[in-house]
Amino acid sequence: MATLHIGDYIMYACAAGGVMVALVGLWLLGGREWIGEKVANLLPHDTLSKGDKAHIYLNGRYNRTATLTRVVADAVYIYDNKVKLPLDYRARFYGIGVDSNDGSRLIYLSNRGYYRLIRVAELIRKVFNLVEDESNLNPDYADDEQLLTEVAEEGAEEDEK
């Protein structure tokens, strides 16, 4: 059996230090987000949109299932646009909103069984600084586009006069 000498320990320390420097460099140069995207791909991808049934959790407890009647940039509406719920972050299979009035945390899911993955997904999101998933809970701008079209047509009519 061979014994290690001081030179062997120095060589191993230099190799470990080099690997650490490379990992920190990768982390600082954008590797953090890249690694996070690859890890997040292991999670399910199940989107919600207008007209879909969403399972809503309030402060960690199941609250209700409701149909999303409208989705805007910072909120979702249920019950024929009568109830507005906050929306702060869109992920691969869930959305999260925090009510500014009382600090209640709302989670929107398309599949109730995915709730147990929320903690893991949130940890991945925060550690790897993931951006929002634009395909989930995509805002519906159809009403806004109609309003803008009407305003533009009114402006064109005034310019012709």
Each domain of the chain, given as residue ranges in start order, spans 1-42, 53-145
Residue 8 CA to residue 37 CA, distance in Å, equals 38
* pLDDT tens-digit series, residues 15-62: 999 999 988 887 778 778 888 888 889 999 988 989 899 999 999 999
Residue 136 CA to residue 76 CA, distance in Å, equals 12
* pLDDT tens-digit series, residues 108-122: 999 999 999 999 999
Question: Tokens 């586009």 map to which residue?
Answer: 145
Q: Torsion over CA of 11, 12, 13 and 14, rounded to 10 degrees? A: 50
| Residue 125 Cα to chain centre, angstroms | 8
Question: What local confidence, expressed as pLDDT, does residue 143 receive?
Answer: 62
Whether the pLDDT of residue 157 is over 80: the answer is no
Q: Rounded mean pLDDT of 82-104?
A: 92
What's the predicted TM-score (pTM) here? Answer: 0.70
Question: Between these two residues, 56 and 6, which has the higher pLDDT value?
Answer: 56
- Average pLDDT score over the chain: 86
Question: Between these two residues, 150 and 73, which has the higher pLDDT value?
Answer: 73
- What number of CA atoms fall less than 13 Å from residue 157's CA on the CB side? 6
Q: Which pLDDT band holds residue 149 (cuts at 50, 70, 90)? A: low
Cβ–Cβ < 8 Å for 46, 121: no
Residue 93 CA to residue 67 CA, distance in Å, equals 16
CA dist 45 → 41, 88, 144 (Å): 8, 18, 28
Beta bridge partners of 14: none
Question: Tokens 């929306």 map to which residue?
Answer: 87
Residue 112 CA to residue 94 CA, distance in Å, equals 10
Cβ–Cβ < 8 Å for 89, 95: yes
Question: Between these two residues, 78 and 147, which has the higher pLDDT value?
Answer: 78
